[in-house]
Amino acid sequence: MELRKLGATGLKIAPLVLGGNVFSWTADKEMSFTILDAFLALGFNAIDTADVYNRFAPGGKGGESETILGEWMKERGVRDRIVVITKGGLEMGEGMVGLGRNYLPKACEASLKRLQTSYIDLYMSHRADPDVPIEETLGVFQDLIDSGKVRHAGCSNYTADELKAALAAAGNGRGRYEVIEPNYNLVQRSEYEGALEDVCLREGLGVIPYFALAAGFLTGKYRRKEDFAGRARGGMASRYFDARGLKLLDALDMVAGRHGATPAQVALAWLMARPSVTAPIASATNLEQLSDILKSAELRLSHEDLAALEV
């Protein structure tokens, strides 16, 4: 499998990043280990998580996903084979929030402890912090890089203007965001395409989109309003249930039929075909789902396929 360069970081990753948001949420520890074992065995190497995973789940406090990943890497002895991507800055408790010098180093230390590692390959601002000057945030990142605790800096959920300001402030003792993690998929395109994508292309940033399958909508499992009931991500996926969304599912079915593929594989292959995208992030809660999404790395869409998906 051909690895892709992750922006200017020097890191090389497989064409799909495994989303760790499901660990301890919709995949328990045993299943998470099983998924991680299979993911690595098939030649994939990058895993995305965050300190707040899974603070949003019932009974969650945050840190559970990083903890599972750390336990797996230690038990299997595979830390040197994994590109670890994690994020900080969102609230983890009273006074534990933000991208300032008074908290972000502590957030990083807590992540390192849960991950049971001495360094994080890619540490990301989970969201821009309007209460902290970007110069301060980038100064913290440079300190973390200089100390060897972080190898590269990145950001998630930044707008084009926020990203441009961050890139302009880099240097002179301040770190530089080399990778961005935007919300981007075949059905939700406007947040990334346009100004933000232009910045990424111009500045040579690595791009690893999350919600690559639109919270499961692009798998095709939501065809009726009744399909959303009782599903962990049903509420998020339901936002795409409209005339355009249903038309897009039909187009996915058509393209998938041409290739003997699934809608999920086509949706991920579409992202992989975007010139600005390094690798999409997708998660799996069982081996069947994992096998499905990983096959997308071998799927090549034609110009005719790509045109059909312009819904």
Question: What are the DSSP calls for 221-278, one per residue?
Answer: ---SGGGGTT-TTHHHHGGG-SHHHHHHHHHHHHHHHHHT--HHHHHHHHHHHSTT-S
- Token pair listed for 231: 């599903």
Taking CB atoms within 8 Å and a gap of at least 24, the contacts of 103-107 are 104/137, 104/140, 105/140, 105/143, 105/144, 107/51
CB 72 within 8 A of CB 36: yes
The yes-or-no answer on residue 158 being catalytic is no
Closest CA to 241 of 265, 217, 270, 215: 217
Catalytic residue among 53, 177, 210, 222: 53
Residues taking part in catalysis: 53
